[in-house]
Amino acid sequence: MAELKLYDTLTRQEVAFTPRDPGKVSIYACGLTPQAPAHVGHMRGVVVMDVIGRWFRHVGYEVQFVQNFTDIDDKIIRRSQEEGISTEEVAQKYSAMYLEDAASLQAELPLFVKVTENMPEIVAMIERLIEKGHAYEVGGDVYFAVETFAGYGKLSGRSTDELKAGARIEVDERKRNPEDFALWKSAKPGEPAWDSPWGAGRPGWHIECSALSLKYLQPEFDIHAGGMDLIFPHHENEIAQSEAFLDQQAFCRYWLHWGPVRLDKEKMSKSVGNVISIRELNKSYEPSVIRMFLLSVAYRTPLEFSFERLGEAKTALERIRNAVQRAEAMLREHETAPDEAFAQSYRERFTEAMNNDFNTAQALSVIFEMVGVLNQQINEASAQGRVAHPEQTRALLNAMEWMTQSILGLQMSANAELSDTMVSALMERIIAWRQELRARKAFDMADKIRDELKAMDILIEDSAQGSTWRKI
């Protein structure tokens, strides 16, 4: 396998990827709290991890990818009260929407696991942390004692004072230290609750990801991923409780974080209210345009959202498609074996970009160089009246299909379906054009149109009464 490097947030450097198990890669990504429609920021993580999974599979790894749904949370409880349905119905409703949205962007989905279906493992982990002296119970609540974990702060790189100032500190004088965080929350009247040794309640936010990732992927799994906003406190707390639970054994091998999507230079967030739902974008933009926008910069770089930039992504995608379609049309009369050596340098540079921390921006620049070469070949063929080197063009097209469709998930034809009404109207115009051609005795052109439509499973039938069409 080619050497693949990724940026590890923990060590703050690009490192060569070495899996725990040869030939396999295990990945856990923090998922959604399903209480509202997913926005563009959520989908950046979906698309980034989809491309990373595609690349790992391409270079020969078997990929095991797990992601969670936090299907019980304060926000879900509030949404339940607002909509007058149960917390379970809220979580199910917005989880299903999220899966539909991710699938609409043609992402290959991971194994999704739910917090509420894994309570025994969460409770057992908390029990073990108490036994080891890393956690304590106060009136039905359980807290992790941060001072018992010497490495606290190593992921975020914050000092003790910064950690105290930046932590999500709940007002509770019963905590030994202000920065201690909740592992178990005692039940409040009317809220969903599960049994535990400390009474009815539900897990804190951080413990769920530790318990689920260790259950499904086992200790020292390969990659823990998430948005940069999760580095502190969520992922910092995951490391502390997990490595305390594992007696200092490494929780995971690498930490990977993607940058936020910003709107007016502020992180897109439901709590702020500056969100653009993916469902709204899908009404005006096809999936490949949205993917093109999300992949236009390296995944760790913050991405500024604007409809202008979406328009630029659409134009860029059309530029690629136009070159591919014109080249395919040019080669229609040329059945030739590809000269793969001609495209090899582009394949190597694309591979180098993807092996360099999955740099999709650099990979796209290679594709646009190939677009320039294709357009040059097309123009020369038009000027000379012949295709000089069809085998080179075919090699470029093969390489671009692999890069755009197989790896980046960009379709080379617009996949919006035409309505039956639009198809009927279009076919009426085509039949009218054929009648004009036949009236001018341009039978060859009329027959060519008929034959090409037949190849598309549309049959035109000519008779003395006129022409009709039907799908084969």
- The pLDDT assigned to 215 comes to 98
pLDDT per residue over 194-216, tens digit each?
999 999 999 999 999 999 999 99
- The pLDDT assigned to 5 comes to 98
- Provide mean pLDDT across the span 17-39: 96
* Cα 209 to Cα 4, 25, 114, distances in angstroms: 26, 18, 10
Pairing outcome for strands 24-29 and 221-227:
parallel
Alpha carbons 385 and 369: distance in angstroms, whole number: 24
Tell whether 370 and 432 lie within a shared domain: no
- The pLDDT assigned to 272 comes to 64
- Provide mean pLDDT across the span 427-444: 83
Pairing outcome for strands 266-267 and 261-263:
antiparallel
Identify which of 16, 111, 52 has the alpha carbon closest to the alpha carbon of residue 299: 52
166 assigned to some structural domain: no
* Cα 146 to Cα 133, 138, 171, 238, 326, distances in angstroms: 11, 16, 16, 11, 62
Task: Say yes or no to pLDDT of 114 above 60.
Answer: yes
CA triplet 325, 331, 333: central angle to 5 degrees? 130
The position carrying tokens 């690349």 is 55
DSSP calls for 398-458: HHHHIIIIIIS---SS--PPPPHHHHHHHHHHHHHHHHHHHHTT-HHHHHHHHHHHHHTTE
Per the rule left: phi > 0, alpha: psi between -120 and 50, beta: everything else, 248 is left
- The pLDDT assigned to 421 comes to 60
457 assigned to some structural domain: yes
| Domain span including residue 216 | 5-132+147-156+204-267
pLDDT per residue over 375-417, tens digit each?
999 999 888 888 889 999 999 999 999 999 999 999 998 754 4
Last residue of a domain, one of 370, 385, 407: 407
Tell whether 434 and 321 lie within a shared domain: no
pLDDT per residue over 315-337, tens digit each?
999 999 999 999 998 898 888 89
The model's pTM is 0.85
Burial of 117 (0-12, 13-18, 19+ CB in 10 A): exposed
- Paired tokens of 253: 């091998």
297 assigned to some structural domain: no
- The pLDDT assigned to 270 comes to 67
Tell whether 14 and 107 lie within a shared domain: yes
Alpha helix stretches (DSSP H) within 59-201: 74-83, 87-104, 119-131, 160-166
Identify which of 63, 58, 49 has the alpha carbon closest to the alpha carbon of residue 19: 63
Tell whether 348 and 318 lie within a shared domain: yes
Sheet of 135-138: strand order equals 135-138, 141-144, 181-186, 201-203
Tell whether 72 and 113 lie within a shared domain: yes
Contact 262, 272 (CB under 8 A): no
CA triplet 108, 112, 118: central angle to 5 degrees? 165
Tell whether 336 and 390 lie within a shared domain: yes
Residue 320's domain is classified under what CATH number? 1.20.120.640
In the chain, % of residues over pLDDT 90: 75
340 assigned to some structural domain: yes
Task: Say yes or no to pLDDT of 258 above 90.
Answer: yes
- The pLDDT assigned to 165 comes to 56
Tell whether 396 and 250 lie within a shared domain: no
Tell whether 246 and 379 lie within a shared domain: no
pLDDT per residue over 44-66, tens digit each?
999 999 999 999 999 999 999 99
Pairing outcome for strands 141-144 and 266-267:
unpaired
Biggest CA-to-CA distance, the chain = 94
- The pLDDT assigned to 416 comes to 46
355 assigned to some structural domain: yes
Tell whether 24 and 96 lie within a shared domain: yes
Residue 227's domain is classified under what CATH number? 3.40.50.620
* Cα 358 to Cα 110, 184, 361, 415, 434, distances in angstroms: 19, 37, 9, 26, 50
- Identify the top-confidence range among 286-295, 383-392, 434-443: 286-295
Identify which of 106, 53, 25, 2 has the alpha carbon closest to the alpha carbon of residue 405: 106
Alpha carbons 4 and 467: distance in angstroms, whole number: 59
Alpha carbons 429 and 432: distance in angstroms, whole number: 5
Say which DSSP state 464 is in.
T
Tell whether 99 and 218 lie within a shared domain: yes
Per the rule left: phi > 0, alpha: psi between -120 and 50, beta: everything else, 342 is alpha
Mean pLDDT rounded to a whole number for the chain: 91
Task: Say yes or no to pLDDT of 431 above 90.
Answer: no
412 assigned to some structural domain: no
- Paired tokens of 345: 């340098």
Tell whether 52 and 125 lie within a shared domain: yes
Tell whether 226 and 360 lie within a shared domain: no
Alpha helix stretches (DSSP H) within 105-151: 119-131
Number of separate domains in the chain: 3
Phi first, then psi: what are they for 298, rounded to 5°? -60, 145
- The pLDDT assigned to 160 comes to 62
CA triplet 48, 265, 291: central angle to 5 degrees? 25
- The pLDDT assigned to 93 comes to 96
- Provide mean pLDDT across the span 166-188: 81
- Identify the top-confidence range among 110-114, 162-166, 262-266, 268-272: 110-114
Alpha carbons 199 and 194: distance in angstroms, whole number: 8
467 assigned to some structural domain: yes
Last residue of a domain, one of 221, 239, 267: 267
Q: Which of 46-60, 230-244, 452-466 has the lowest mean pLDDT?
A: 452-466
280 assigned to some structural domain: no
pLDDT per residue over 148-167, tens digit each?
999 999 999 986 666 565 55
Last residue of a domain, one of 385, 407, 429: 407
The position carrying tokens 């345009």 is 289
